Structure 1
Amino acid sequence: MTTTPVTLRDLTAQVRSGQLANDALVKDAVDRIEHRNGTLNALVCSRGADALAEAVASDRTGRPLAGIPFTVKDMLATADLPTTCGSKTLEDWSAGADATAVARMRAAGAILMGKSNCPEFALGVDTTNGLFGRTFNPLGEWTPGGSSGGEAAAIASGMSLVGLGSDYGGSIRWPAQCAGLVGLRPTVGRVPRSGEQPTLPGADPLGVEALSFQDAVQVIGPLGRSIDDMHTVLSVISGPDGIDPIAVDEPLGDYREVDPRDIEVRWGTHIGNVPVDHEVVRTVLFAVEALMSSGTRVQEGLPEAVNDGLQVYDLLRAADAMSTIAALNTARPGLIGAPVRAMLGSRTEPGRGERAALWEHRSQIIAKLRQWLMGERALILPVSVDVPRDLRGNVGNFHLLAPSRAISLFGFPSLSVPVATAQSGAPISVQIVAPPFREDIALALGAALEQASEWERTTTLRNRIPDAN
């Protein structure tokens, strides 16, 4: 076995040229699932033999993800595996169809290895539920994060090379940090939401519900090992599908054509009055200094709209009726776990006027942030206010993700990239926020940090390339 840091782009070129056998990467992933999943509990179901057979028979020509093993968070519909959302109310339920993003990965030649664990209905900063139990981080004793924690653990342990998660208030960005990966929250509307679960009983599993607050801000996006991998996957899963009414046909720029010296950055470490750990502050300062060294123009101080964003996010999230989950709870009473029951019970019921005022306030502060965040500009801030720790018993510790929650409100693209290491050994990431549909700016700055990073990825975080022979 030869260990070489390469990108998905490199790997698919080797598969297409015959340097790697069609099933070489999938064989390696199957081996890791067999040897590591029993301990980590990252995947809740897998395709083993079917994935190998599919890889052997796959077409090499012209497919951008030929032979790449990938995994999917158990919140996205899949045709041939159950989609349970980590809930006993959906135990063994199958959508019978692939979410649009999953279907596009498979059409691009990627091989689905399995579904990854998440907190029930993706509502938690740690990954545990009453159906499948707890997921553990392959890098250390700290949490794998939530809600895409199983996905992060699967990729970090080599069970897949890239994966799909979803992000409401940090559910891609935080697990990516916990596992030393890169995670991308795309612009709302970049990737179709078709196939996100749960859906109402009897409804079309690929249908998109009427816009609640969660529907308005939650996105599907990738987690992986490198900045380049994020661009490769995003280019595959982007674009309208005729199902999701807010998915748009917006060109995706190439981050390699963006010069960090042309970008103006504003940065900060604190959102609202939430305390921030000194190691997180140090990491943001390191990232800012690294970007300054690469010629990026930086200015201290985040736009005030970001602080407003956290408050409005919290109010709108608390007012979300969670109607689909409530309907599942009514249909199968007594099966939903205590953390989600508590969230259902804590929902506020604002009047129509108050609700309209909150949505109007959101529109106003989005407009304010866009007044500055336009063109070749970006923000740098933490992903979380603390470093990754053991969060057993704290699945609902959402204030931890204050910086990510604040950014979610705006629907702008945001990248989580690891740049430093805590004294505990846990990775610490920063969050790069770009203007709408300018993921290329975030990725360009992420690539600059990837080169300057003091976070040394171990071999478990690199693509492992089987010998060609």
Structure 2
Amino acid sequence: MDKDQIAFMSVDEQGRLIESGELSPVDLVQLYLDRIERYDNVLHSWITVAGEQALAATKEAEKEIAAGNYKGPLHGIPFGVKDQMTTKSVRTTMASVIQDNFGPDEDATVVANLKAAGAILLGKNNMHEFGKGSSISFHYGEPKNPWNLEYEASHSSTGSGISVAAGLCSFSIGEDTGGSIRGPAWANGVVGIRPTYGRVSRHGGLMYAWTQDTFGPVTRTVADNALVMEAIAGHDPKDTLTSTRPVPNYQSTLDGDIKGIKLGLVKEMSTGQELHPDVEKSMNDALEVLRSLGAEIEEVSLPKAKYAVPLQMLTSDADGAAIFLENWFRTDWDRFDRGTRTRIGAAALIPAPIYNRAMRGRALVRNEILASFDKYDGLLALMNFIPPMKRGDSVEKLNSQDDVAQRMFKSRRICTYPFSVANVPALSVPTGFTDEDVPMSIQVVSKPYGEETVYRVAHAYEQATDWHSRHPDLEKTVIAAGGTS
């Protein structure tokens, strides 16, 4: 088999080959390590690559499989995690020089669950410092979009999106506060879900906003996303906010018919003066595909959704400031990235009564969104009104109040923050490319613990299109740009 073909295979395909003995998990890990060495000195999607540990673990996995102790479809599958989740014997930096030498003594629950399923930890993915999308400096290399190096790869689970899109691992686990899984999935042309709050344990992760943070998979297909979700979801006594609800068999519902399903296209997240022509066409084409599959789609207005942006920023930043003050600000103020320091420092001054009012405001937004599910099985929304921007036009210009950058961030926030505030499942699925080969996506959303509906709709759309089968030509984009030859 062609090595590139194997690298971009779905987790399901790789798992079947490993189970049948046609693919060695050791060879698969080595393939990804070789690709990381060849391409990631330009892409910068990894902070720490745990090559020796991964090879040792996969050799053990190969022995287990040969002995008939096959654990399931993730056995021998290499994965990455956003570098804000603790990993035993592998440093966890939070992408900050402050944590450069932090060596945890236990795995985060999501990592432990994946290892228990036989998956192989390949390393830690790059991110914005402490998960703040407003950070300006990347201490471990500036991440680049594998489709077009001139463009941003979004934030803050940046490395997760890049590494999956570039075929540098089989899947990754990201974290989403206001769009930090969905954004990198959108910009890099892969699938990413923000699960229902409480569906996945957050034990072992740096929680920036305890009332909103979620962990979820970033994958190349919807089916892979459902597969990984089954492995990481469920109650965890170490995270008392996790639900005791049984974890469904998400994969079993993927091929369900969506004929007659009722979907609301959110007006405030699909129309407006900022809507880019390429994004509008991509969205309309996606809607036409869904309608051809039998979905009933009509426009729905959520007028309170616009308030989610200031409410989410105020409450999440205040949550983060409380954590940072307790742990780092008093001792390491000068070592923080300027963007992080400015945003969190200001949030530390928010009075308790203002925070309380903002939390009450969040409840109003959440209730409006939840009420929509009385009529609709799910909602549809853009990921952004405009495509990803060129890297030089992104965060640096945002912090300097540049108009173009402000519009980009504002339009993404209005599309992603409401569902973060509502704590409902929201998945980003690719819908096409701009003329500059930059990906675009839509969101599929449902009620709390409605991941089955989200997966069913997104999978039906994905199977009727071919966007998931397209992959970046790294020899063209990376090697031509000066990568390892």
Partner of 1:215: 210
Partner of 2:231: 236
For normalisation by structure 1, the TM-score amounts to 0.89
Q: 1:129 to 1:108 in 2, by over 3 A?
A: farther
Report the secondary structure of 1:133's partner residue.
coil
Calculate percent identity across the aligned residue pairs. 27
Report the secondary structure of 2:385's partner residue.
coil
Partner of 2:440: 428
Q: Structure 1 stretch 446-455 or stretch 343-352: which is displaced more?
A: 343-352
Partner of 1:386: 386
Structure 1 residue 453 displacement after superposition: 3.1
Partner of 1:110: 119
Partner of 1:208: none
Give me the whole-angstrom Cα distance separating, in 2, the residues matched to 1:259 and 1:9. Answer: 21
The 5 Å alignment of 1:256-405 reads: 256=254, 258-268=256-266, 270-271=268-269, 275-317=274-316, 319-320=318-319, 322-326=321-325, 327-347=327-347, 349-374=349-374, 377-392=377-392, 394-395=394-395, 398-402=409-413, 403-405=415-417
Give me the whole-angstrom Cα distance separating, in 2, the residues matched to 1:22 and 1:375. Answer: 47
The one-letter code matched in structure 1 to 2:156 is S
Q: 1:274 to 1:310 in 2, by over 3 A?
A: farther
Structure 1 residue 56 displacement after superposition: 1.6
For normalisation by structure 2, the TM-score amounts to 0.86
Q: 1:372 to 1:253 in 2, by over 3 A?
A: farther
Q: Is 1:165 the equivalent of 2:164?
A: no
Partner of 1:139: 147
C-alpha contact 1:86 1:129 (8 A) present in aligned 2: no
Partner of 2:462: 450
Give me the whole-angstrom Cα distance separating, in 1, the residues matched to 2:102 and 2:352. Answer: 35
The one-letter code matched in structure 2 to 1:108 is A
C-alpha contact 2:71 2:118 (8 A) present in aligned 1: no
Which of 18, 22, 46 is matched with 1:19 structurally? 22
Report the secondary structure of 2:259's partner residue.
helix
C-alpha contact 2:321 2:348 (8 A) present in aligned 1: no
Alpha-carbon deviations, 1:361-413, whole Å to 9, x = none? 32233223212225861111111232012233632554242211222111000
Report the secondary structure of 1:19's partner residue.
coil
More helix by share: 2
Q: Structure 1 stretch 55-64 or stretch 68-77: which is displaced more?
A: 55-64
Q: 1:329 to 1:315 in 2, by over 3 A?
A: closer
Alpha-carbon deviations, 1:110-162, whole Å to 9, x = none? 11111111111111168x63421311122112111110111111112221010
Give me the whole-angstrom Cα distance separating, in 1, the residues matched to 2:230 and 2:182. Answer: 19
Report the secondary structure of 1:333's partner residue.
helix
Q: 1:261 to 1:307 in 2, by over 3 A?
A: farther
Aligned CA-pair RMSD: 2.4
Q: 1:456 to 1:188 in 2, by over 3 A?
A: closer
C-alpha contact 2:322 2:348 (8 A) present in aligned 1: no
Unaligned runs of 5+ residues in structure 2 are 399-405, 475-485
State how many pairs are aligned.
Answer: 447
Q: Structure 1 stretch 337-346 or stretch 408-417: which is displaced more?
A: 337-346
Partner of 2:479: none
Unaligned runs of 5+ residues in structure 1 are 199-211, 463-469
C-alpha contact 2:96 2:336 (8 A) present in aligned 1: yes
The one-letter code matched in structure 1 to 2:177 is Y
